[in-house]
Amino acid sequence: MTYQLHYWPGLQGRGEFIRLALEEAGADYVDVVRLPKEQGGGAGALMKAMADPDQPFPPFAPPFLKDGELIIFQTTNILAYLAPRLGLAPEGEQRRVFAAGLQLTIADAVVEAHDTHHPIAGGLYYEDQKAPAKARAADFIAHRLPKYLGFFERVIRRNPDGPGWAVGDGLTTVDLSLFQLVAGLTYAFPRGMAPFGNACPRLSRLCDAVKARPNIAAYLRSDRRIPFNETGIFRYYPELDQDGTWVVEEV
């Protein structure tokens, strides 16, 4: 049965973490808002699904995934549902629980990246909160980037199964999500992310390995991959970027 992904039109956002898993697995799915209206697509279809008064298990917000009659929402929850079905989950309870924790930590990093340009309220325009955004972004680059990326670097180094993946002995949704996180941060903060390759060589190699996978490489070249832009989570505002001088300590 075809998976139906519901997410806002015109941006990668949190939906992209799910698209990468579906694309890597070669899963049969549709991005509902990108379908023509006559085929049940468009933003109206998403809003209709959100407002369905007869739905006993309504999603809070996009992204949400429909698998037959089942509706799953929240990015990490969707990935936890998809991973074993797509062959992207590690083996064993300890590793699956650890993978869930890593996905939640990635979600935390995504929220903090978003809040660099919207530190006061998501309902305000960026232009209405530029001054606090500059302060928030400076702290994020100086302190939060090395904290998050340094943690993931240590995770890869300590992985008892290796080689080079975050958890288990092969590719999982965690690796795909780490690739997207790093790609988004690099787009938003090219100067701030300048130390990344030297500071996090294992995570850098993991991202390269994900990017080189045949299905992912084909997806990144296709028009299904929506470009980063200034309506998504990861936004490039030159005034928020600054030179990164952080290092990651081996622990």
- 70's tokens: 């089942």
Q: What is the per-residue pLDDT for 251? A: 65
In the chain the domains, ranked by start, together with CATH numbers, are 3-86 (3.40.30.10), 93-240 (1.20.1050.10)
Q: What is the per-residue pLDDT for 192? A: 98
Nearest-5° angle of CA 218, CA 174, CA 201? 85
Tally Cβ neighbours within 10 Å of residue 246: 19
Q: What is the per-residue pLDDT for 79? A: 98
Q: What is the per-residue pLDDT for 97? A: 97
Q: Tell which residue, 105, 150, 106, 143, has the closest CA to residue 250.
A: 150
Q: What is the per-residue pLDDT for 201? A: 97
68: left (phi over 0), alpha (psi -120 to 50) or beta: left
Q: What is the per-residue pLDDT for 249? A: 73
Q: What is the per-residue pLDDT for 196? A: 96
pLDDT means per 10 residues, the chain with 251 residues, are 93 97 97 89 88 91 95 97 98 97 98 98 95 97 96 96 93 98 98 97 98 98 96 97 87 65
